């Protein structure tokens, strides 16, 4: 079965990036979200990112226009029922994801493959709430999607070989590289990355360094492209906290305890770049550390 129609649920930073790379690779994309405003913002972001690729001679103007022409949006989740592949990229909360799959289920074609871009939540558990656990997988893109080469592929306990192979082929067609992870909390990338970010927040919380000194240390001392606090703001502090909670609950080890300062920022609604404030304040011309 050839995958051609792709449904993407959630038009935030990941859903819009996913729609961008699929449309550029020639797939027809139907993008869904709960708000029309989110869909408008996603289309504007995709268009701006495609423009940047044109200006850097990565793609032509006509590739950009073709890609934009292949993306349609809808507020109605059942419209995604005709897709060959669905990628769920809504907020990192299990109740939200489960409800999406349950609502979508009656409208699906028998062959539709369901996937989640979750950063941490059990694929086996999400799959078990659907009528097709054998056609369910983790399809985990990295942020920013148009730039990052990796896609983590995660099999649930019941995922069959055909589904896995179909997703592998899609990753190849996107021009990306896959790594396979077993289905345990936060898989590979976030099992390693998120405790480092959490530790950077503890380093700040305990006064070992300021936001600036922590980020400068890791950029210039460990050659990371972004400091850990800058990266946390880029990912979204709500998503970072959700991942740490999944690690803490799922592995029952105190080494994954989310830093109380991370919780405080999330409770304040200071979620990073997406709300214009996190460990940095982005409301001016240059980001200013908030601590
Ligand atoms: C949480 C999870 O579940 C999993 C995750 O995703 S964890 C997060 C993984 N991501 C990372 O670790 C990203 C770390 N940061 C980086 O790699 C770099 O800082 C970066 C690529 C984001 C930006 O790089 P930079 O050198 O500072 O900026 P810049 O030179 O302007 O951009 C580099 C490229 O990225 C593109 N880019 C930058 N920001 C972008 C964005 N938000 N969206 C799309 N493209 C973007 C630029 O257009 C440029 O493209 P070309 O190379 O094709 O010209
Ligand atoms: N941020 C990152 O670096 C990465 C994130 N991920 C994962 O990707 C997923 C999305 O993350 P990200 O894009 O950063 O999050 P965002 O907060 O940027 O976007 C999530 C989007 O989903 C929307 N949404 C919420 N509920 C529903 C629903 N029931 N149906 C449709 N849309 C809904 C949100 O709307 P509203 O805001 O109005 O509620 C928002 O537009 C998460 O599972 C996350 O863990 C994976 C890799 C990297």
Reported ipTM: 0.96
Average confidence (pLDDT) over 197-203: 98
Q: Give residue 147 CA to ligand 1 midpoint distance, Å.
A: 6
Q: Using CA positions, which residue lies closest to atom 23 of ligand 1?
A: 225
Q: Give residue 206 CA to ligand 2 midpoint distance, Å.
A: 31
Written as six digits, the tokens of 111 are 């062959």
Q: Which residues contact 281 (CB under 8 A, 6 or more apart)?
A: 287, 288, 289, 290
pLDDT at residue 228 in the model:
99
Q: Which residues pair with 289 in a beta bridge?
A: 280
Over the stretch 46-58, which tens digit does the pLDDT of each residue have?
999 999 999 999 9
Q: Which residues contact 104 (CB under 8 A, 6 or more apart)?
A: 9, 77, 78, 80, 81, 86, 114
Q: Is ligand 1 within 6 A of the CB of residue 188?
A: no
Q: Give dist(CA 152, CA 187) in Å, integer.
A: 8
* 1 has pLDDT over 80: no
Cα–Cα distances (Å) from 15 to 38, 52, 258, in that order, read 11, 18, 26
- Nearest ligand to the C-alpha atom of residue 237: 2
Q: Give residue 89 CA to ligand 2 midpoint distance, Å.
A: 5
The SS3 assignment for 21 reads helix
Q: Is ligand 2 within 6 A of the CB of residue 92?
A: yes
């Amino acid at each position: 079965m050839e995958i051609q129609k792709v449904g993407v649920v959630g038009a935030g930073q990941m859903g819009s990036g996913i729609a961008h790379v699929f449309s550029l690779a020639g797939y027809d994309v139907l993008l869904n979200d709960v708000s029309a405003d989110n869909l408008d913002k996603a289309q504007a972001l995709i268009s701006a990112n495609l423009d940047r690729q044109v200006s850097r001679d990565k793609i032509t103007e006509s590739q950009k226009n073709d890609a934009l022409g292949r993306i349609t949006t809808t507020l109605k989740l059942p419209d995604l029922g005709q897709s060959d592949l669905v990628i769920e990229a809504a907020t990192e909360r299990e109740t939200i994801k489960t409800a999406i799959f349950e609502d979508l289920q009656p409208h699906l074609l028998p062959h539709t493959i369901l996937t989640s871009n979750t950063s941490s939540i059990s694929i086996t558990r999400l799959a078990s709430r659907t009528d097709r656990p054998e056609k369910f997988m983790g399809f985990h893109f990295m942020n920013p999607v148009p730039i990052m080469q990796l896609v983590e592929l995660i099999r649930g306990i019941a995922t069959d070989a055909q589904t896995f192979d179909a997703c592998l082929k899609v990753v190849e067609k996107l021009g990306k590289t896959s790594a396979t992870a077993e289905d345990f909390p936060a898989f590979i990338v976030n099992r390693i990355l998120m405790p480092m970010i959490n530790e950077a927040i503890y380093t700040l919380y305990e006064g070992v360094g300021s936001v600036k000194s922590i980020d400068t240390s890791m950029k210039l001392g460990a050659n990371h492209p972004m400091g850990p606090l800058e990266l946390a703001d880029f990912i979204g502090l709500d998503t970072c906290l959700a991942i740490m909670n999944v690690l803490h609950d799922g592995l029952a080890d105190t080494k994954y305890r989310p830093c109380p300062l991370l919780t405080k920022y999330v409770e304040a609604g200071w979620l990073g770049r997406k709300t214009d404030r996190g460990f940095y304040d982005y409301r001016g011309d240059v980001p200013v550390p908030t601590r």
